[in-house]
Homo-oligomer: A and B are copies of this chain.
Amino acid sequence: VCLLSQLSSCSRHGRVSVSPVLVNKRTNSSTPPKISVDFDQSTGVAVMYMQSPPVNSLSLDFLTEFCINVEKLEMDKSCRGLIITSGQPKVFSAGLDIMEMYGKSPERCGEFWKAVQDMWLKLYSSNMVTIAAINGSSPAGGCLMSLTCDYRIMADNPRYSIGLNETQLGIVAPFWFKDTMTNTVGHRTTEISLELGLLYSPSEALKIGLVDQLVPEDQVLATATQNMSKWLTVPDHARQITKSMMRKPTIDKLTSNREADVQNFVSFITKDSIQKSLRMYLEMLKKKRG
């Protein structure tokens, strides 16, 4: 169950992008990989498909597998570019898994949050060129994942939406979500987006700079590959030093405050009032299914 997957249905745009499905938690042993990677040695470009049905929710298992794969590619000197896309229909990623936050022990919540931090840190500081091929809706944590990339290409389908919509659910995007969005679309757009928990249509997202390019749905990956070629014409070392110069202050803010950020998340999410909000939300989802 994805924390933020349902919001599109109650957004101001009335888009329904992600079906409200409560899936049973599978046991790890029988779970197929949640990530599949195609690495083309000849181009130095890896394509990472997220394939955790139904909506690529960011569970602890998913994040762990995701980070292991990113790290493996990062260590491989022959891999210069990474394209992230979804293997699921209609959704890029629906964001953080609500089941990781509901009725869990503080320890488990803390472990989960560290994995979310890890995902962000690995992607935002990656030496690879990273391109998000956003072939579906991308709320909350899915939007954050896109924002860490060097370039964002989205399917031009008005039923899809993207944004950091946490407040709509009564939770709060932490400072490093906020910083990443501010770095991308500026202070004022971030302020109004986060306060209202806005989800944007692809064309709106392009207009405010939340994504860089829209293409027809069936051309998202091909366009990402073409763009990657252009990025790879730039000498790696100069591009990497430049990227680090742009992003280091934002990364340092989290790395020097990781533990406090975990504590902050845990004490917030385990509050009775927040747990009650999450329970009501889950019940609402069950009714929808009913």
Contact = CB atoms under 8 A, between A and B. Distances in A.
Contacts of A151: 192
Contacts of A34: none
Interface residues of A, number: 44
Interface in A263-281: 273, 277
Question: Which among A172, A190, A197 has the greatest number of chain B C-beta atoms within 10 A?
Answer: A172
B246 A191 contact: yes
Given A150-B195, A239-B167, A190 B230 contact: no
Interface in A177-210: 178, 182-188, 190-192, 194-197, 209
A241 B274 CA distance: 14
The DSSP consensus for interface residues of chain A is: helix
A166 interface: yes
A234 B183 contact: no
Given A186-B186, A188-B183, A168 B234 contact: yes
Given A12-B230, A197-B234, A234-B195, A242 B173 contact: yes
Interface string A244-270: 011100000000000000000000000
27 contacts: A12-B230, A150-B192, A151-B192, A167-B235, A167-B238, A168-B235, A169-B235, A169-B238, A171-B238, A173-B242, A178-B242, A178-B246, A182-B187, A185-B188, A191-B243, A191-B246, A192-B212, A194-B242, A194-B245, A194-B246, A195-B242, A195-B243, A195-B246, A196-B230, A196-B234, A196-B239, A197-B238
